[in-house]
Each structure stands twice: as C-alpha cells, then as structure tokens.
C-alpha cells in the first residue's frame, strides 16, 4: 500500500487522536498548530515534522506547500478558526482535497460552504453510534472490540482501478468472503464522493474511481488489493 501524505492542521482533542491513528496506519503526516500548548504537546508526543504557524496568514499557508500533500485535514480546536482555515485553503489551493471535522450540524454547513470536500460530522457519527448500540448491541460490541484491540485487523480504503474485474459489478453480487475480508461500505463518486454503508440496502454499481471500505487482516487486504489491480478478462 502506497503511504499517503497528510497535512494535519490542529493538534487539539480531535487532532491528537487523528494523528495517532494516522501514524499507526503508516501515513506520512506533517502537523501545523497555532496554539503554543498544542504545538508543545505534539513535540512531546514524539512527532518531528511539527510546525508552529499562524494559519490566518496566506503567505504562511503558501509556504507550507499544501499542494504537495495527498490530503489536507482541518481539525483546529477553535471552530471559527477551522472554518476560516478551510475557506483560505480552498481559495489558495483549488485542487487540494480538504477534509474537515465538525461537532455540530451548523458548523458542518459552514465548512461545506467554505469549500471542504468532505466533512466528518461528529454529532452525526455519535448519533449513529447511539442508534447502533440500541438496535445492534452485540454487533456493535464485537466491531468495537475488533477495532480497539487492533490485533492485525484494520479498516482500509481501496480505490477501484480502471479495467478492474469489479467494474460494473453490483454491490448485491459482491462477495469478498473468499478473500477473507468484509466490505463495510463504499465511497461512490457517482453520488458525489458520498460514503454509503453496504447495509443501507441500496444496490450500487461499482465503477472505476469508487473506493471500497473494507475490514480484515492486513495481509488479506494486501492480497485483495493486488488482485483488484489485475485487469478483467474480456
């Protein structure tokens, strides 16, 4: 798996957690923080590529060369600053992929208007979690146990390449059990880069450029990703 580079803005409560997860999963990350306490915390946690910077300055943002990173992640602790930063980055770097974190529906709307490509709404995530605990307590407990233990079982986003054997296959017909992994959902570009759980009951057609979100042992995911790159037989 090719390591992706992430420019992470913010090392507050959410940023610290995200940085840890990205680091464990092998991502190359650079952290930018404007709060001196959070900056020092990142250094104390062992991160080397950390920069203390005023993210309200366009010239400083340009000097960071965000266009050289695969994704920009905005998780500044101050939500107003996070919206302003997202707006500035979108204005300066129109081709960059920007992901932002929100903790309310109101902030989610503002981040989308500011130009974020993807907004993870923690309010919605929490609501879904509560729903799952109430409706599917056993399955939720098992899934959380797998994720928290991290005993070699991981989530992975796997892009579908051109001419893959999965092209034009409907999700209802997609069985990944023979590969020893489980399909959780997919990011369907036809629906506007929207993540859809496989349990949503919608039968999607898999196209090149879509992203499958799977869970399984690392070696099984590696094997499946290699198979997926083989061209389908004509």
Q: Is the pLDDT of residue 213 over 90?
A: no
Contact 34, 52 (CB under 8 A): yes
Q: Is the pLDDT of residue 206 over 50?
A: yes
Q: Where are the beta strands (DSSP E) in 50-124?
A: 50-52, 71-74, 98-102, 118-121
Q: Where are the domains of the chain?
A: 5-126, 153-229
Find the distance separating the first CA and the last CA of the chain, reported in whole Å.
27
- Neighbouring C-beta atoms of residue 157, cutoff 10 Å: 13
Confidence of residue 82 (pLDDT cuts 50, 70, 90): very high
Look at 144 and 164; give whichever has higher pLDDT: 164
Name which of 154, 155, 156 is nearest 1 in CA terms: 156
Interatomic CA distance for residues 115 and 74, integer angstroms? 12
What is the mean predicted confidence (pLDDT) over 26-39? 94
Q: Is the pLDDT of residue 189 over 80?
A: no
Locate 95 and state its tokens. 């081709």
Name which of 73, 111, 116 is nearest 94 in CA terms: 116
Count of H-run helices and E-run strands, the chain = 8, 10
Q: Is the pLDDT of residue 1 over 60?
A: no
Name which of 11, 8, 67 is nearest 35 in CA terms: 11
Q: Is the pLDDT of residue 60 over 80?
A: yes
Find tokens 């500035």 and name the residue.
88
Q: Is the pLDDT of residue 220 over 60?
A: yes
Interatomic CA distance for residues 178 and 187, integer angstroms? 22
Confidence of residue 136 (pLDDT cuts 50, 70, 90): low
Distances (CA, A) of 7 to 29, 115, 231: 6, 17, 33
Mean model confidence pLDDT for the chain: 82
Question: Which pLDDT belongs to residue 95?
Answer: 92
Distance of CA 39 to the CA centre of its chain: 23
What are the backbone angles phi and psi of residue 207, rounded to the nearest 5°? -115, 160
Look at 65 and 146; give whichever has higher pLDDT: 65
What is the mean predicted confidence (pLDDT) over 71-77? 93
Which CATH class, in words, describes the domain spanning 5-126? alpha beta
What is the mean predicted confidence (pLDDT) over 33-59? 95
CATH number, span 153-229 = 3.30.70.1450
Distances (CA, A) of 74 to 88, 108, 220: 11, 12, 32
Neighbour-count burial of 119, counting CB atoms closer than 10 A to its CB (0-12 exposed, 13-18 middle, 19+ buried): buried
Locate 148 and state its tokens. 């928290």
């Amino acid at each position: 798996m090719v390591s992706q580079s992430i420019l992470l803005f913010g090392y507050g409560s959410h940023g610290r957690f995200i940085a840890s997860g990205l680091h464990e999963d092998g991502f190359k990350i650079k952290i930018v923080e404007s709060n001196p306490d959070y900056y020092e915390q990142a250094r104390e946690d062992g991160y080397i590529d950390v920069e203390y910077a005023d993210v309200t300055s366009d010239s400083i943002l340009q000097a960071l060369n965000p266009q050289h990173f695969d994704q920009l992640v905005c998780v500044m602790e101050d939500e107003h600053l996070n919206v302003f930063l997202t707006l500035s980055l979108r204005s300066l770097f129109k081709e960059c992929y920007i992901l932002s974190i929100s903790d309310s529906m109101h902030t989610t709307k503002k981040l989308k208007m500011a130009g974020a490509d993807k907004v993870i709404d923690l309010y919605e995530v929490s609501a879904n979690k509560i729903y799952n605990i109430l409706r599917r307590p056993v399955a939720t407990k098992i899934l959380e146990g797998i994720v928290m233990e991290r005993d070699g079982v991981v989530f992975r986003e796997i892009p579908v390449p051109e001419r893959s054997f999965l092209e034009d296959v409907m999700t209802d017909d997609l069985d990944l059990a023979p590969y020893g992994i489980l399909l959780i959902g997919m990011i369907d570009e036809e629906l506007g880069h929207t993540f859809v759980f496989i349990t949503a009951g919608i039968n999607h057609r898999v196209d090149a450029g879509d992203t499958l979100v799977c869970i399984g042992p690392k070696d099984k995911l590696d094997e499946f990703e290699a198979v997926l790159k083989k061209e389908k037989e004509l």
